[in-house]
Chains A and B, each alone.
Chain A
Amino acid sequence: DIQMTQSPSSVSASVGDRVTITCRASQGIRSWLAWYQQKPGKAPKFLIYGASSLQSGVPSRFSGSGSGTDFTLTISSLQPEDFATYYCQQTNSLPRTFGQGTKVEIK
């Protein structure tokens, strides 16, 4: 199985801050990575595929980058609705695996 490791586990930030979350794969997965956002009590929401391509309707303040084993999700200017937990998922192979999540909290 491909293990996905996110860091940090949580981050405290203020509205308007730039936030970066890292995801590392245990082996190379090219650009086969997706990101999801989950708010408390809600289902995950699909944000990004192919490491850097935004799903339709996702605000442009979200961006993704990376390839191989190291990836980042960046929120350029944090908005109140962005406080949530973010998960990466490798789309390269079975079984499909997620990172453990990064919680973005209000500072």
Chain B
Amino acid sequence: QVQLQESGPGLVKPSGTLSLTCAVSGGSISSRNWWTWVRQPPGKGLEWIGEIYHSGNTNYNPSLKSRVTMSVDNSKNQFSLKLSSVTAADTAVYYCARSVYITIFGVVMDVWGQGTTVTVSS
């Protein structure tokens, strides 16, 4: 079965760029799915950041769009997130997930990574 694993620095300085990678195992990133990033600030709910298809097509949350860049590396079976100009408000657990389209029912996130904590602090 497909498994996802996030990796990246746990501490980022304010105004810096947060960079995370999600490694996909047990399946191909070139399958007909979207690959998604979701974050969760401490003690708060889930926020969808955006998603990327293996072709490189992306959809971003408008609230973060100016600061977000997602990319996919099909040869390494992984996808990545960059979030620029970070502040303390970007401190959160960041999850990667697989998003699948279920006919007539839309796109759901059916497989999740374990999450990685990123703290923005000097």
Q: Chain A residues in contact with chain B, CB under 8 A?
A: 1, 31-32, 34, 36, 38, 42-46, 49-50, 53, 55, 87, 89-92, 94-101
22 pairs of residues in contact across A and B, judged by CB atoms under 8 Å? A32-B105, A32-B106, A36-B109, A38-B46, A42-B114, A43-B95, A43-B112, A43-B115, A44-B46, A44-B112, A46-B108, A46-B111, A49-B106, A89-B109, A91-B102, A91-B108, A95-B60, A95-B61, A96-B48, A98-B46, A100-B45, A101-B45
Is B106 touching A92 in the complex (CB atoms < 8 A)? yes
Query: In the assembled complex, how far is the CB of residue A92 from the closest CB belonging to chain B, in whole angstroms?
Result: 6
Query: In the assembled complex, how far is the CB of residue A63 from the closest CB belonging to chain B, in whole angstroms?
Result: 16
Q: Is B41 an interface residue (CB 8 A)?
A: no
Q: Which residues of A contact B112 (CB under 8 A)?
A: 43-46
Q: Is B89 an interface residue (CB 8 A)?
A: no
Main secondary structure of the interface of A (DSSP, over half): loop
Bound form: Cα–Cα A9–B56 in Å? 38
Known: A45-B112, A53-B105, A101-B46. 15 other contacts (CB 8 A): A34-B108, A34-B109, A38-B46, A44-B38, A49-B106, A49-B108, A50-B102, A87-B46, A90-B106, A91-B102, A95-B48, A95-B60, A98-B46, A98-B47, A100-B45
